[in-house]
Structure 1
C-alpha cells in the first residue's frame, strides 16, 4: 500500500472516519477495583472537601449496639447545586481543577467510594440553593451509569442533622453497604472501630499534615444511633486529628540541616530537594508512629501541600537500616510533566531516569553533593546507635475515652505491649462507695457517672473529658490489666485508692459550694 511505503509511514496512520464509543457498563467493575485502601479512599474524599474551601471536616461512623452501619464525610465547603452534583457523579468528568487543586482525574469520588461501598450518596447545599442529593450504586453503574435523585426532604433532613458543621453551605458524602463493616462479627465492633480509627487518624494526620498545621479542623467521630440523639451529640466518641509532621523534629540529628539541594532534571529544570536528618532514637510521633522506619526513609513528595508519597527512594538506591534518619521533601511542580507522574490514588509517584540522574548531580549552595547528605545521615545513625538508652517497661496502650493528644504522648514515651487491647475509660453506674471499677475482661476502667460533673466544672463533658483524672488513673492502673491471678494486694490497692478518690470528690464539691456562696 502506498501509505505504508516511504520514510514517514511510522509517524502517521490514515483514518476514514470516527465514532463515539461510550464506556460499557462493565467498566463499573473496573471502577470498583482500583485497589484503594480504606484510609486512602477516605483521604480522597477529604481532598474534595479541601478543594471546596472547607476548613472543618468530620469523618463520622454510624453504628448501633452490635453493628457498624455506615460512614459519612461532612464538610463546610462551598457546596454544590443540582448541576454541580450531576457533574460530580459523572464518571471521568473532567473540569478545570486549577493549579492549586488536589483533584486530578475526575474519578476519585466514585472510584474511592465504590471500592469500599455498594452505594454512594452525595447531599449538598450552597448559599443560593436548597439541599439536593444524588446517589450512585454499583448496580446503577452497570445499568448504563444510572444516577438516582435523592428525595429533597431527606436531603434537607440530613443537612439539618449536621447544622453544627453545615450552616449556609456544605456537603455530605455517605457510604452504605461498606464491605469491611459487613464482615465484622457481632460483638467485634468496638475492636474493629478502635483499630480502623487509629489507622485512619495516622494516615490523615500524615498525608494532610500541612493543611492541619495551617488550621484545617478534621475530626473522626462515632455515633451510636440507638441512643436516639440527632447528629453529633456530647456523648459521641470524638477524635481531633493532629498533624503528624514527618519533618517535625525539635533539633536535627546533624548540625546544618535541613539543607537545600538543587537537582538539574532534564525536562523539568531545577528541582529543589529539602534534605533532613532526624535525631537518632527519636520518640516523636512524626518519626515513630507513621509506619516502618525503613519504609519511611527517602523521598516525601508533595502536590499542592498534600503529601502523596511518604518514603521510598524511587530507584535511586535501596532502603537500608543505616539511612532511617534520612528524609527528603520534594514539592511536585504545578501541572503535568513527563518526568514525575502521580497515580490515581495519590499514593505513589513514578519517576523517569531523568529524575534520579538529576538527584545524583544535585548540590547545595556550597557545592556539597547529595551523596554528602546521605553520608551525614548514615553517620548520625551510627553515632546514635552507640549511645546507651534506658529501656522502659512496655505498657498496655491507652484507648477510647482518653484525649488523643495524651495517647500520642504516652505512645511517644512508653513502648506498647504487643497484642494487648487498649485500656478504655467510660462513665457508668456504680455504688456510691466506688469511684471506679476495673472490667478486666473488656480492658475498661468504669468511672462512677454520679461524680462526672465534679471533674468537668459542673458540665456533662464529652467522651474524652476529665483528662487529668483519667490520665492519672491510667498510670496507676495500667499494670492491673493482662494479669493472670488477681492478688489480694492488688485488690487492697483498689480499695484504698477508691476511698482516697472519693475523699477528693467530697473536697471538690465543698470548694464548688463555697465558690458559689
Structure 2
C-alpha cells in the first residue's frame, strides 16, 4: 500500500466524552474500578462518602501513594495506558480509561485531588464545559477551589492519598428519580454487596496472598463474602490444579458448596449470591481481584445438578488480552488453547455437586411404603401417589365403593395438577423459602393421630414399630420409635 499523506484526525471531544458515558457501568462496577486504582496505589484504606441532600455528591478517598502533577494529568487523560505493555503484578488497570469512564457513567463533573506530603494538586473534567468548547481542556484547580472541594478535609488529614469527587450526578440519580433518597440508598446497598464479593481477598485479613484493605462507606467498614464458603465444614475442597499456557501456570481449584439443607437461612442468603443455580461456574481472579463470577464460558450449561459447583481460576496480570477482559472487568473469554482443559476440570468438579443432589434424592433402603412413586411411560417420567400405602389403602377399602372411586379421582386430579414448572423455578431460585422436612415433633404428632386408628385393636408393638420405620413420612424420624411407643403406652 502506498501512503499518499498522513492526516491528523483527533476524535470529537464532546461526542467521545458523551459516548464514554454509555459503556455499561452501574454504580457498583464504577466504584469497583476506582478502588482498583486505590489498590494499585498501595492504599490500605478507601473511604466512600456520599451525601444525598441538598444535591447528590460522592467522594472516594484513599491513603495510597498519591500523584505528582504530571501523574495526575496522565491519570485524567483519556486512554492514558497502552493495554499491551507489561504491568506491575498488583496493577489492576489496563486501558487508562477506568477512572474517567466509571465516573462519567454516574456524573457530569469529575474532580481528582491528589496529595504527596506538602504537595497537593487538583484537576477537573466538566462535561458541560467539554460540550461547550468541544476541546480536550482539563480544568486545573486553584488553591481556593481545592480548599472548597467536597470532603477535601479528609485528604488533608493524611500524608499521601487521592480524592475523587463526583458532582452533577445525573446518571446516579436516574433523572426521573431525582430526590428519591430510598432509591439512592438502595443503589449503595447493592454496591456494598458487590464490593464485599469483588474484593473479598483484600478484605479478609486471614487471606495471606493479598495486601489487606479496609473499605468504609460513610464511616462504616464493610465485610467480605467468600464465594466458596470455605468456612463451612460441609464445603468440599477439590484438588488444586494448574494449567500450562505460554510458559505460565494458571491456578485452578474446584469447590462443592454445602447443600442448602446444611446451611441456615442467613448463611444461604449470604453465600448463594442470589441463587446457587445462577452463580455456579468459574470465578476468575486477576491480582486477587475477582473479575468474573458464575460463568461456564459456554463450555457447559447451568443445571440444578451442577448448582453447587464453583471453580476458582487465578490469572497472571499479562493475560488480559488473551482472555478478552473488557474495560469494566466484567466479561472474559478463555483462549481456545485451554478450553478443552477447562472442560475437563468442569467434568471432574461437577461430580461432587451431582453426588450431593443425587444422595438427597435416594430413599432409605428400608422404606417400603413411600407416599410417592416415580413411573416411566414411553420415556416420560411422572410421580403418582402410592395407593398401596397402608394409610391410603385402608381409607380406600373402608369407604363405600362410590366414595372410594371419588377418592381415587381426587388423587388423580392432584397428581395431574401439581404445578411442576412453578415449583421448579421457585425452588431453584430460593430453596430455603420452602419447607421440605417435618420436624421430629411434627412426625410424632402425625404418629399419635395415626395410632388412634388402632387403639382398640391391641396390635403388637413390634408391628407398629416396623410400619413406622418403613413408611413415609414416619421413616424420617430421627428419634427411637421403640422408646416413643413405650412412653405412649403401646
TM-score range, shorter chain: 0.5 to 0.7
In structure 1, how many angstroms separate the alpha carbons of the residues matched to 2:19 and 2:151?
35
Q: What's the CA shift string for 1:178-210, capped at 9, x where partnerless?
A: 123263757741x22431222011100000111
Query: Which residue of structure 2 aligns with residue 59 of structure 1?
Result: 48
Q: Residues 264 and 359 of structure 1 are in contact (CA less than 8 Å); yes or no, is this contact kept in structure 2?
A: no
Deviations 1:128-184 (A, max 9, x none): 51x221110223444212211122123145487544884111111111111232637
Q: Is it true that 1:381 corresponds to 2:357 in the alignment?
A: yes
Q: What's the offset of the Cα at 1:92?
A: 0.7
Alpha-carbon shift at residue 260 of structure 1 (Å): 1.7
1:437-476 alignment runs, 5 A limit: none
Q: 1:218 and 1:74, CA in 2 relative to 1: closer, same or farther beyond 3 A?
A: same
Structure 1: gaps of 5 or more residues: 1-12, 222-237, 363-369, 388-411, 417-517
Alignment of 1:334-345 (within 5 A): 334-336=317-319, 339-345=322-328
Is 1:111 matched up with 2:101? yes
Structure 2 gap segments, 5+ residues each: 206-211, 364-429, 435-490
Measure, in 2, the Cα distance between the counterparts of 1:33 and 1:160. 27
Q: Distance in 2 between matches of 1:337 and 1:118?
A: 29
Match of 2:113 among 119, 123, 128: 123
Aligned partner (choices 212, 220, 224) of residue 217 of structure 2: 220
Conserved in 2, the CA contact under 8 Å of 1:341 and 1:350? yes
- Contact 1:252–1:258 (Cα < 8 Å) also in 2: no
Write the distance in 1 (CA, Å) between the matches of 2:214 and 2:75: 24
Distance 1:164 1:132 in 2: 11
Structure with higher Rg: it is 2
| Corresponding residue of 1:245 | 226
Q: In the alignment, what sits opposite 2:255? A: 276
Is the contact made by 2:113 and 2:123 (CA closer than 8 Å) also made in structure 1? Answer: yes
CA 1:337–1:209: 2 relative to 1, 3 Å: closer
Aligned residue pairs total 351
Q: Which of the pair is proportionally richer in helix?
A: 2
Alignment match, 1:36:
25
Task: Indicate the SS of the match to 1:139.
Answer: helix
CA contact (8 A) 1:315 1:356 kept: no
SS in 2 for 1:323: coil
TM superposition shift of 1:359: 1.6
1:350, distance to aligned residue in structure 2 (A): 1.7
Question: 5 Å matches for 1:132-143?
Answer: 132-142=121-131, 143=134
CA distance in 2, matches of 1:294, 1:112: 30
Distance in 2 (CA, whole Å) between partners of 1:205 and 1:157 is: 32
Q: Which position in structure 2 is the counterpart of 1:448?
A: none
With the length of structure 2 as denominator, give the TM-score of the two structures. 0.65
Alignment partner of 2:347 out of 371, 374, 385: 371
Q: Equivalent residue for 1:488? A: none
Q: CA RMSD in A?
A: 3.0
1:201 maps to 192
Please give the alpha-carbon distance, in whole angstroms, between the structure 2 residues aligned to 1:268 and 1:384. Answer: 43
Tell me, yes or no, if the aligned pair for 2:251 and 2:315 is still in contact at 8 Å: no
Give the TM-score normalised by the residue count of structure 1.
Answer: 0.62
Structure 1 position 376, deviation (Å)? 1.8
Q: Is the 8 A contact 1:134 1:148 kept in 2?
A: yes
Distance 2:94 2:165 in 1: 22
Contact map agreement 2:115 2:155 (CA 8 A) in 1:
no
Cα distance in 1 between the residues matched to 2:45 and 2:268:
23
Q: Cα deviation per residue 1:444-465 (whole Å; 9 max; x = unaligned)?
A: xxxxxxxxxxxxxxxxxxxxxx
CA contact (8 A) 1:299 1:313 kept: yes
SS at the partner of 1:341?
coil
2:65 corresponds to 1:86: no
Q: Deviations over 1:274-304 (max 9, x none)?
A: 1111111134268535233222111000010
